[in-house]
């Protein structure tokens, strides 16, 4: 029957009494060990033993800072050499027979950067096997292996997010993108990608090939021009849902100076309803979408120019970008969704000035 230990000192006393052993105090053990160590060990080894035993609390406090892992491993090995079975030799003769304690193995000097050089991370690569890692001189544990997989996971996550810069994807679209890559493990789930998705920044929008293609071709998906009847005329409605932050379309037309735009307005007999004045980078500019159709798209009515005004309830907002079109920088006004936009909802933005007066102040789009 096993009984719990309540007092180590009393239980040891009963153990000595039961087996007729002479009680030995810790002080006596320390003296015996140090006596043997004084003869058998070198000066540095004797200091290790003394520090390891730490006779009193004062000594312990003085030497705790010296208890590095190497010492804690090395010193018990020294003490173990004192417990060799007695075979007639004295401590003096034992000095020459005790094998020297080997120094602790130096820690592996290779770091993770060297691991990445040996095993570069890519979205399509496979993690290195244990055999391959050991052949390159790396430890057989999984520390670098797991870090490598974390790097690949982040790389694949960024790759998926970069595929959906200007519009938030659906679960189906992300799943198809993963299947297209052929990944079977170590990739984020479609739900995770949707949670991490963020609207494209101005810099990201300027580098997005999908946005550039839509600007050049004027084929913005999910939008249609609708006739709202007498009194309102044409407008733009969503034929698919948009999420907050999506790039919806652009305001297409010829870029001219604001001064030239104002002169053009003065020469017009009818209401100048398709002149977009804006300020960006210290420049005062205007997009002339009044002339229809435009020279670059003679067979299509562009979407942005047909969006109506709403000062109180706009659901899209203009953003100035500079896109590289045919090797030249071009000023472009993109529209970003201010909120989730359901199907059949009309798209509107705040013109920023009184539409009827068209004083040409221009929106500040820096």
CB 290 within 8 A of CB 273: yes
What is the structure's pLDDT at 166?
86
CB 289 within 8 A of CB 252: yes
Model confidence pLDDT, tens digit, residues 42-55: 666 667 667 666 54
pLDDT > 50? residue 296: yes
Distance from C-alpha of 339 to C-alpha of 107, rounded to nearest angstrom: 56
Distance from C-alpha of 137 to C-alpha of 133, rounded to nearest angstrom: 7
What radius of gyration, in Å, describes the C-alpha atoms of the chain?
40
Which of residues 57 and 288 earns the better pLDDT score? 288
Collapsing DSSP to helix, strand or coil, 244 comes out as: coil
Model confidence pLDDT, tens digit, residues 18-45: 777 777 666 777 777 677 666 666 666 6
Give the range among 183-197, 258-272, 277-291, 346-360 with minimum mean pLDDT.
346-360
Tokens of 342: 């359901």
Distance from C-alpha of 73 to C-alpha of 70, rounded to nearest angstrom: 5
Give the range among 4-13, 118-127, 322-331, 340-349 with minimum mean pLDDT.
4-13
| φ and ψ of 173, to 5 deg | -65, -40
What is the structure's pLDDT at 365?
66
pLDDT > 90? residue 360: no
Tokens of 303: 């979407």
| CB hemisphere CA count around 164 (13 angstroms) | 28
| φ and ψ of 255, to 5 deg | -85, 125
Which of residues 54 and 326 earns the better pLDDT score? 326
Model confidence pLDDT, tens digit, residues 220-236: 999 999 999 888 889 99
What residues pair up with 247 in beta bridges, in sequence order? 336
Closest CA to 190 of 211, 172, 215: 172
pLDDT > 90? residue 333: yes
Collapsing DSSP to helix, strand or coil, 366 comes out as: coil
The architecture that CATH gives domain 204-364 is: Beta Complex (2.170)
Collapsing DSSP to helix, strand or coil, 309 comes out as: strand
| Strands 328-337 vs 316-325: parallel, antiparallel or unpaired | antiparallel
| φ and ψ of 333, to 5 deg | -105, 110
Tokens of 78: 């020294």
Tokens of 204: 């990201």
- Predicted TM-score (pTM) of the model is 0.61
Tokens of 258: 């604001």
Which of residues 280 and 337 earns the better pLDDT score? 337
What is the structure's pLDDT at 105?
45
Strand ranges across the sheet with 247-251? 247-251, 328-337, 316-325
What is the structure's pLDDT at 117?
94
Tokens of 187: 């990739």
Q: How many other C-beta atoms can be found within 10 angstroms of the C-beta atom of residue 290?
A: 19
| Strands 316-325 vs 234-238: parallel, antiparallel or unpaired | unpaired
Identify the DSSP state of 346: B
């Amino acid at each position: 029957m096993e009984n719990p230990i309540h007092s180590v000192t009393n239980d040891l006393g009963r153990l000595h009494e039961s087996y007729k052993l002479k009680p030995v105090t810790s002080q006596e053990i320390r003296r015996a060990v140090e006596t043997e160590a004084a003869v058998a060990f070198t000066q540095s080894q004797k200091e290790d033993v003394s520090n390891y035993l730490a006779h009193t609390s004062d000594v312990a406090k003085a030497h705790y800072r010296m208890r590095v892992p190497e010492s804690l491993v090395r010193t018990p090995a020294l003490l173990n050499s004192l417990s060799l079975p007695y075979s007639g030799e004295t401590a003096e003769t034992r000095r020459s027979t005790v094998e020297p304690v080997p120094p602790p193995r130096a820690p592996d000097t290779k770091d993770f950067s060297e691991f990445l050089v040996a095993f570069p991370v890519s979205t399509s690569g496979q993690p290195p096997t244990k055999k391959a890692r050991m052949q390159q001189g790396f430890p057989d544990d999984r520390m670098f292996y797991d870090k490598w997989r974390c790097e690949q996971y982040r790389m694949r996550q960024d790759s998926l997010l970069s595929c959906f810069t200007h519009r938030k994807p659906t679960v189906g679209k992300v799943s198809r993108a993963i299947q297209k890559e052929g990944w079977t493990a170590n990739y984020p789930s479609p739900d995770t990608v949707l949670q991490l998705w963020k609207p494209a920044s101005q810099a990201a929008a300027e580098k997005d090939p999908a946005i550039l293609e839509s600007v050049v071709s004027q084929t913005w998906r999910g939008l249609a021009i609708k006739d709202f009847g007498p009194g309102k005329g044409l407008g733009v409605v969503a034929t698919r849902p948009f999420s907050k932050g999506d790039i919806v379309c652009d305001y297409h037309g010829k870029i001219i100076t604001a001064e030239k735009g104002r002169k053009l307005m003065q020469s017009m007999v009818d209401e100048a309803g398709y002149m977009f004045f804006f300020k960006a980078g210290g420049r005062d500019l205007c997009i002339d979408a009044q002339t229809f159709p435009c020279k670059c798209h003679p067979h299509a009515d562009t979407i942005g120019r047909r969006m109506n005004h709403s000062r109180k309830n706009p659901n899209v907002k203009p953003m100035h970008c500079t896109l590289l079109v045919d090797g030249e920088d071009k000023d472009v006004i993109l529209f970003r969704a201010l909120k989730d936009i359901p199907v059949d909802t009309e798209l509107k933005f705040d013109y920023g000035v009184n539409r009827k007066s068209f004083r040409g102040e221009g929106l500040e789009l820096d």
